[in-house]
Chains A and B, each alone.
Chain A
């Protein structure tokens, strides 16, 4: 498989295999045996159309390519036309059913009947074709094995063995009939080693060898199919179990987060009231203890916030929820709604937006959270009275969002570690800088941006400041 967005050329053979395996992007490939009944019949119909053409082409060109003379062209072409017409009937029955969403029991019965009739008549067509190209002398008799395999793949072991016995009986009658001269024999020159009727010894040898081959093939294929079906059943069961466990985990996380958030907020707010002296003045030791408790609670709040974001991201259905929106207004709203946060450290905050609205597609609340994360980081890692610029502009087919600060910056060695899960950089204690956090914030930004087809970036200089941002594909409104 190629990487997302990558292009590769696919060979015809690979395309054919993918067609028969129903191997589509993101779906579980399935072989003929586990297809829906209508799809099995459809595939078989397509194969039979090919076979009709091959019989006609073979009978017309055998003389030139293989040096076979005295082929009964008329009979072979007639046989191919009958197969073709029978196949059209199959196609007319199966094609509308494949497209229709409602499949009634009577339709399923009809499809099943048509499938069995097709397999049964295929053996008859094969015996006639084999008779026309040299009977027991012809190398084409190995095609019987192909039909035995098809029957073993499509049906249960019992039905597959019934078809094997049926096919073998037809072959047996052809072989014995040729030997006993029950019907005229056809031996095209060049296709068979002899134009004389087969001897008894030869016929019995062929019948015994083919019999062994028929039943060994049926036995081996039905066993393999049994293990394949059993394996698939187990995979489906395990998948269902995994899905259930995954849902349980998500549900548990939701409940845990919900039950943790409220008490943590209440504890934090009461501790702040205590620290501010609303319940009476505290001495320095008491203040220090309360402050330490608050710091730890704030870490917990930040961690819960990030966990919540991750859980939301996990449940977000981008394909269903994504809508077009202008990112200018999103940034304006973030600034409007978070004045308290922006002013909390007396930073000078500048917003640079283009006049023309830039439209992107995605889940607005997730992208808003990504911008908020960058903004919160800039505020957090910039000493009081700093300068923060939020910038939006269009660059080629991308919308670029940047949050620039003149904060503490990041050392070049630490830059590659950013945007990874649970990454906490070792930083010196700096007055006015709270370096607590979950280590998930920038990871969430990356997840959100990349799920929207964008890319994150960072430029930073230790002690001078940083620019964190991302590019998102724009919807071209021209």
Chain B
């Protein structure tokens, strides 16, 4: 039996984490959660997720970008996705290429889009 893919969600909003968890678990993923950037970086070391979803705006402005930069420096092998709220893109110049991101999801995230994107990227049937 194929081993389930693990997705780590780094977001300081428990309701967003819980909604994403429901979407991903329903699609057959295993989900890990972290409530801030520091916790998220530790969780990546500990659970070695297949993909990471990071909220751009957490405890500090733009802290999601900092987490992505740190993971890129640490040579994290999996795809990283950024979660951005309405208007973040226009307020902060997020350069997905520079941050090594596989994509950006706009909140509120559409479950179908989220699941199909992750499945395609991780090669899940």
Contact = CB atoms under 8 A, between A and B. Distances in A.
A257 B88 CA distance: 11
Given A265-B85, A270-B19, A340 B92 contact: no
B6 interface: no
B15 A333 contact: no
Interface string A327-369: 0000001001111110010000000000000000000111011
A293 to B, nearest CB: 12
B103 A309 contact: no
Contacts of B95: 333
A365 B90 contact: yes
B90 A337 contact: no
B87 interface: yes
Secondary structure call for the A interface: helix
A273 B22 contact: yes
A340 B115 CA distance: 11
A312 interface: yes
Nearest to A273: B22
Interface in A243-265: 257, 261-265
B22 A279 contact: yes
A44 B34 CA distance: 71
B111 A273 contact: yes
A278 B22 contact: yes
B107 interface: yes
B108 A312 contact: no
Nearest to A303: B86
A339 B103 CA distance: 8
A340 B108 contact: no
B26 A304 contact: no
B80 interface: no
B111 A305 contact: no
Nearest to B26: A278
Nearest to A344: B113
A305 B38 CA distance: 29
A272 interface: yes
A269 B87 contact: no
A265 B87 contact: no
A366 B87 CA distance: 10
A308 interface: yes
A263 B104 CA distance: 20
Contacts of A262: 13, 16, 85
Contacts of A272: 19, 23, 108, 110-111
Nearest to B115: A276
Interface in A269-286: 269-270, 272-273, 276, 278-279
A388 to B, nearest CB: 17
Nearest to A277: B26
B23 A273 contact: yes
Interface in B93-111: 93, 95-97, 101, 103-111
Contacts of A338: 104
B124 interface: no
B50 to A, nearest CB: 19
A30 interface: no
B31 interface: no
B122 to A, nearest CB: 15
Contacts of B113: 340-341, 344
Contact of B87 (A304, A333, A368): A304
Contact of A312 (B18, B19, B91, B97): B91
Interface of B: 13, 15-16, 18-20, 22-23, 26, 85-87, 89-93, 95-97, 101, 103-113, 116-117
Interface of A: 257, 261-266, 268-270, 272-273, 276, 278-279, 297, 301, 304-305, 307-309, 311-312, 333, 336-341, 344, 364-366, 368-369, 372
